[in-house]
């Protein structure tokens, strides 16, 4: 058992006490919150440094026993688009340095997102504290998919390259991110540690579908398709609307309805969440507006009922660094149809826990929706397999255990130097020995179920036998030896 560590999680725009589901509030908020709580439960002292977005917020807010949120002054104390925050990072670093010195320093810094990474490098150089880096999204990947719609400053790419070069460890949340770091940023593959995101199986659990529908006031006998998460174009919600319009009308099957949960406000508001207006217009143009319901934002404590009430969860983003919502749906026993991209192709096993479909392909999505509507027994079997998979591989307890081992290795003897007289720069700690992370637990596919056309062999890091028949497709290869 390693001794307790003093850990600073830096998350400039994603506070653990912000509501998820808005334009700039999503998976990273959940990640930072659950990691902070999980590490604190293991006896570590954790501070989450995030930008003050409201003048009335106290500097220190308790999160749980052993974990706090520190609001850092950097720019106007108001909510701002994250694309506009980079100029305030020097001020963030200065304020964070003052707080760090006041707190007696930290054993490890863990930066989340590239702007937090820039802050982390400044603190590393000032105090000599080792830095772990999780990007959550990569600028070059975003630029490939969004083109001119990407509003982040061009300096992002140079900052990410500097972090790849100078951070003491890079934490990749899936093999796709790992491969992108090597291919696009020339990262040292031996410097990358594979640690996925997770889910709390004590909160997200299977339940009674009809009871959940009754609590939410939903129709008992419709085929309910759930889309839940941030309301931005790259999440591909328009693809789901188009698939609903293509779903064949069948008098022998229950009518289908799409539930869209997310947005800036509890009540759907097109002014606060422009994406809702765009999607409503699309649904009306396709003649399915009566079958699409925009629910608005819901708190984490409320989400389980929405997952349990659904027949299937759908997420088809253009790209996805990881994606926590598929795990939440799987933990609740619901099949997932996801885009064959990024982290989703790691969490969802095609033909075992759900289906993978190409992004931007509403016809493929509609075909899988029709299949599950026709065969509720199959949907239930996929859902049960999803529960087993999540509990075996994707819990926050597992995530925090791996991160704690990484931090202990980085901290070494845990000598914290907080004096400002230290050298302004230290060399990257490339020689640090990091204990390999335990290989993933093999999952046995459910059986028997009817043959399903599958995407193809699971990548080498997935010790899972796909359901036959299989059409071979070459998957994106993970970096050898790095995903552990």
Helix or strand or coil: residue 162? helix
Among 131-145, 423-437, 443-457, top mean pLDDT goes to 131-145
Looking at the domain 6-198+395-411, which fold is it? Rossmann fold (3.40.50)
Output the CA angle 33-34-37, nearest 5 degrees: 85
Calculate the alpha carbon distances from 208 to 231, 308, 310, 325, 382 in Å: 28, 7, 11, 20, 16
Q: Which of 114-118, 257-261, 307-311, 413-417 has the lowest mean pLDDT?
A: 413-417
Q: Cα-flanking dihedrals φ and ψ of residue 314, to 5°?
A: -125, 135
More confident residue, 207 or 17: 207
Residues ≥6 apart with Cβ < 8 Å to 113 = 11, 12, 13, 14, 28, 82, 134, 135, 136, 137
Distances (CA, A) of 256 to 212, 277, 374: 17, 21, 12
**For 133-148, how does the pLDDT look when each residue is reduced to its tens digit (9 = 90+)?**
999 989 898 888 777 7
In CATH terms, is domain 209-393 a member of 3.40.50.2000?
yes
**In whole angstroms, how far apart are CA 288 and each of 8, 245, 413, 431?**
48, 6, 62, 58
pLDDT for the residue 431: 38
Quick check: helix, strand or coil at residue 285?
helix
Q: How confident is the model at residue 63 (pLDDT cuts 50, 70, 90)?
A: very high
pLDDT cut 70: percent of the chain above it? 83
pLDDT at 417 over 70: no
Task: For residue 392, give the DSSP letter.
Answer: H
Residue 50: beta bridge partners?
71
Q: Give 289-311 pLDDT, tens digit per residue.
A: 999 999 999 998 999 999 999 99
Highest-scoring range by mean pLDDT, 29-33, 310-314, 427-431: 310-314
Is-contact 80 440, C-beta < 8 A?
no
Q: How far apart are CA 264 and CA 250, in angstroms?
A: 36
* Helices 155-166, 139-146: crossing angle, 10 deg rounding: 150
* DSSP E strand stretches across 174-300: 192-194, 223-228, 256-261, 292-296
Residues forming CATH 3.40.50.2000 domain(s) in the chain: 6-198+395-411, 209-393
Q: What angle, rounded to 10 degrees, do the helices at 362-374 and 376-393 form?
A: 110
Pick from 274, 199, 200, 287: nearest CA to 231? 274
CA 414 → CA 8, 30, 105, 193, 208, distances in Å? Answer: 14, 28, 11, 20, 48
Whether pLDDT at 454 is above 80: no
Question: How big, in percent rounded to 5, are the helix, strand and coil portions of the chain?
Answer: 40, 15, 45
The residues with which 338 forms a beta bridge, in sequence order, are 315, 356
Higher pLDDT, 200 or 320: 200
Tell me if 35 sits within 8 A of 63, measured CB to CB: no
Q: Residue 111's beta-bridge partner residues?
A: 10, 133
pLDDT in the model for residue 25: 53
Which tokens go with 333?
A: 């026993």
Mean pLDDT (whole number) for 166-181 = 95
Q: pLDDT class for 473, splitting at 50, 70, 90? A: very low
Mean pLDDT of the chain: 85
């Amino acid at each position: 058992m390693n001794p307790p560590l003093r850990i600073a999680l830096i998350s400039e725009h994603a506070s653990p006490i912000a509501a998820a589901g808005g334009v700039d509030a999503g998976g990273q908020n959940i990640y930072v919150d659950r990691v902070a709580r999980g590490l604190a439960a293991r006896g570590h002292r954790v501070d989450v440094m995030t930008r003050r977005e409201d003048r009335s917020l106290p500097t220190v807010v308790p999160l749980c026993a052993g974990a706090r949120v520190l609001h850092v002054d950097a720019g106007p104390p108001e909510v701002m688009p994250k694309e506009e925050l980079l100029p305030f990072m020097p001020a963030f670093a200065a304020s964070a340095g003052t707080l760090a010195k006041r707190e007696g320093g930290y054993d490890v810094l863990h930066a989340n997102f590239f702007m937090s990474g820039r802050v982390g490098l400044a603190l590393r150089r000032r105090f000599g504290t080792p830095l772990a880096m999780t990007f959550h999204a990569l600028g070059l990947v975003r630029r490939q998919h969004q083109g001119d719609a990407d509003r982040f400053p061009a300096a992002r790419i140079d900052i990410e390259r500097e972090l790849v070069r100078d951070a003491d460890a890079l934490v990749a949340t899936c093999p796709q991110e790992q491969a992108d770091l090597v291919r696009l940023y020339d990262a040292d593959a031996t410097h990358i540690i594979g640690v996925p995101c997770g889910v709390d199986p004590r909160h997200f659990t299977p339940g009674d579908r009809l009871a959940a529908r009754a609590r939410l006031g939903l129709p008992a006998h419709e085929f309910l398709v759930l889309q839940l998460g941030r309301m931005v174009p790259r999440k591909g919600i328009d693809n789901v609307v188009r698939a609903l319009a293509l779903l064949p009308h069948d008098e022998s099957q229950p009518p289908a309805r799409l539930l869209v949960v997310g947005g800036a406000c509890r009540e759907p508001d097109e002014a606060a969440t422009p994406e809702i207006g765009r999607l409503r217009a699309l649904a009306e143009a396709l003649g399915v507006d009566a079958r699409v319901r925009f629910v608005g934002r819901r708190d984490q404590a409320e989400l389980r009922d929405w997952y349990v009430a659904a027949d299937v969860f759908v997420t088809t983003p253009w790209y996805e660094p990881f994606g926590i919502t598929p795990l939440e749906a799987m933990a609740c026993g619901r099949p997932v149809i996801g885009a064959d991209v990024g982290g989703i192709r790691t969490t969802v096993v095609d033909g075992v826990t759900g289906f993978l479909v190409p992004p931007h392909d509403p016809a493929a999505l509609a075909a899988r929706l029709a299949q599950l509507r026709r065969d509720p027994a199959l949907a239930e079997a996929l859902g049960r397999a999803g529960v087993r998979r999540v509990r075996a591989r994707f819990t926050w307890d597992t995530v925090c255990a791996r991160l704690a081992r990484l931090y202990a290795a980085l901290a070494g003897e845990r000598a914290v130097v907080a004096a400002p007289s230290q050298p302004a720069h230290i060399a990257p700690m490339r020689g640090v020995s990091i204990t390999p992370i335990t290989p993933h637990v093999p999952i046995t596919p459910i059986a028997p179920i009817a043959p399903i056309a599958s995407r193809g062999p699971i990548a080498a890091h997935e010790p899972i036998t796909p359901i036959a028949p299989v059409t071979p497709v070459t998957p994106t290869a993970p970096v050898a030896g790095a995903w552990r």
